[in-house]
Amino acid sequence: MSSVPTGPVPPANAPQENVPAGTSAVVVGGGIAGIAAATVLAERGVAVHLVERGDQLGGRAGAWTETLSDGQSFEMERGFHAFFRQYYNLRALLRRVDPELAHLASVEDYPVLGPDGTSESFAKLVRRSPFNVIQLTHRTKYMSFGDLFKVNRKPALDMFRFDSEWTYAEYDDKSASDYFDSLNFPDKARSMLFDVFAHSFFNPEENMSAAELLMMFHFYFTRNPEGLLFDVAQRPFSTAYWEPFAQYLQERGATVECGCVASGLRRRQGRWVVDTSSGEIVADMAVLAVTVPALKALVDASPELHEESWLQRVHSLGLTNPFAVWRLWLNKPTEEGRAPFVGVTEYECLHNISLYHLFEDESREWADKCGGSVVELHAYALDPQLGADEIKGHMLRGLHDLYPETRDAETVEERFLLHQDCPSFAPGSDAARPTVETPFPGLCLAGDSIKLPFPSALMERAAASGMMAANCLLAPLGVAREPITTVPRRGLLRARRHDRAR
């Protein structure tokens, strides 16, 4: 891993411990990106006002309290999240409230299951690249020695040539599915090794940038020193992380206001005025860490932000297809030996299955008490025309096929979510994607849709972008930036001495 410089370099007399007294910031959006920005700023003495539209912090990784029909309360989430080991910045953030990362538990294997008993395991792969790729290619049942010779070498080797400038120039206009086609992998190997991976970014292959896909390969696999390993939260995100974060921020003088909607920004005497549902907030600096539609709406409603080329960048952002999360409380246990999490391929509308009772406290307690199981099904990059019933039908067929013991289980309780709020990474979208810095002094963007100068994705991108936003705002004040860490920035076949030295 390596540290990356981010934003303007503080003057020579830095670091100072704290900003000048009275320095203030408003952070709009209480997802991971907003929490990361607010944390870094508050730790350096900035008087932070964090406003969040929802009733709780966490955004897309949030959790809220619901009640089961037996009267038991539980924390519902938008579903299973994998905390990969190379999420250095997210982990550094979470350590503020969970110093030993004790709320995370490791998942030893996450096999991919397909129809007719097909499966692929990613367990016990060596961590170092390219040996991990060689080992996986060698041990998979779905690719023979002969097939290897038919693979198109140039695009295959480009997985090891990631370089943000070169890869985006070469591949951003192509789609991920065109890239997969160009590899000439056998169909089964493609579906077992690649399809689940591509789906995990919520974008449909045919409308996802091949450059973004190659960045994901680089970040998760070909240049990930931690190996394909991830952890899961053993407790609901709310009690494990977001409630402690609200307290952590308040202890550092921040105001955390949930249920508060920001509607526009203005400048007044060199400061930012944010109009919200609970009145004006005036601050020296501002971070917008909101979802894509909310960012567009906020900027549209703020005429002072209508700098033509930047406005076009903001407008270039979009949302990808909907996703579905279906949590089922079943009256029967799942078979002994099932993995807590599996990827699923070749089933319409089913991309992974998590067995919550195997790793999360609340679900384990419920399953122990009732002799049942808590199963969560996810489907990504869905056709927007599909209705809830159709999606559920597909999901259930997949579950029954892969885990036959669930066929005659009764559903005691269920929660179904169908949303569309994850960012699109369509072919050709990179050049216009907005960055953390904006043309406006004291205003930064953060979130998992924002372009970063190093490989990153999803929750980690949200955390890193929030930290970068705080660093950009702190730099002119001469205050020490938050260290930001990433996997090596270039692929093995493109690594420069600079990368190797670290």
Give the ranges where 88-218 is alpha helix by DSSP (H): 88-94, 131-139, 145-150, 153-157, 164-171, 176-183, 187-190, 196-199, 210-217
Q: Which is nearer to ligand FAD, 167 or 354 (CB)?
A: 354
Nearest-angstrom CA–CA distance, 318 and 175: 16
Q: Which is nearer to ligand FAD, 122 or 185 (CB)?
A: 122
Backbone angles phi, psi at 146, to 5 degrees: -60, -40
Characterize the bridge pairing of strands 255-258 and 47-52.
parallel
Nearest-angstrom CA–CA distance, 162 and 475: 30
CB of 216 to ligand FAD, least distance (A): 11
For residue 131, which amino acid is it? F
Tokens standing for residue 416: 């179904």
Rg (CA), the chain: 23
Q: Which is nearer to ligand FAD, 181 or 348 (CB)?
A: 348
Nearest-angstrom CA–CA distance, 139 and 133: 10
CB of 368 to ligand FAD, least distance (A): 26
Nearest-angstrom CA–CA distance, 194 and 214: 11
Q: Which is nearer to ligand FAD, 49 or 53 (CB)?
A: 53
CB of 396 to ligand FAD, least distance (A): 18
CB of 229 to ligand FAD, least distance (A): 13
Question: Where does residue 352 fall: left (phi above 0), alpha (psi -120 to 50 degrees), or beta otherwise?
Answer: beta
CB of 200 to ligand FAD, least distance (A): 7
Q: Which is nearer to ligand FAD, 373 or 449 (CB)?
A: 449
CB-CB neighbours of 421 under 10 Å: 16
Strands (E), 310-349: 323-330, 341-344
Give the residues across from 75 on adjacent strands: 65
Residue 357 class from Cβ within 10 Å (0-12 exposed, 13-18 middle, 19+ buried)? buried
CB of 322 to ligand FAD, least distance (A): 10
Nearest-angstrom CA–CA distance, 289 and 34: 5
CB of 471 to ligand FAD, least distance (A): 17
CB of 32 to ligand FAD, least distance (A): 4
Q: Which is nearer to ligand FAD, 124 or 419 (CB)?
A: 419
Q: Which is nearer to ligand FAD, 61 or 474 (CB)?
A: 61
CB of 24 to ligand FAD, least distance (A): 17
For residue 58, which amino acid is it? G
Nearest-angstrom CA–CA distance, 91 and 103: 11
For residue 175, which amino acid is it? S
Characterize the bridge pairing of strands 2-3 and 285-288.
unpaired
Q: Which is nearer to ligand FAD, 289 or 477 (CB)?
A: 289
Q: Which is nearer to ligand FAD, 51 or 183 (CB)?
A: 51
Nearest-angstrom CA–CA distance, 432 and 268: 29
Nearest-angstrom CA–CA distance, 208 and 187: 19
Nearest-angstrom CA–CA distance, 327 and 180: 32
Q: Which is nearer to ligand FAD, 23 or 456 (CB)?
A: 456
Cα→Cα distances 36→57, 215, 462, Å:
12, 23, 8
Q: Which is nearer to ligand FAD, 183 or 436 (CB)?
A: 436
Neighbour-count burial for 167-206, b at 16+ CB within 10 Å, e otherwise: bbebbbbbbbbebbeebebbebbbbbbbbbbbbbbbbbbe
CB of 343 to ligand FAD, least distance (A): 11
CB of 29 to ligand FAD, least distance (A): 3
Q: Which is nearer to ligand FAD, 88 or 185 (CB)?
A: 88
Can you give the binding site for ligand FAD, defined by CB under 6 A?
Answer: 28-34, 51-54, 59-61, 78-79, 81-82, 261-262, 289-291, 294, 298, 323, 325, 378, 422, 447-448, 458-459, 462
CB of 171 to ligand FAD, least distance (A): 22
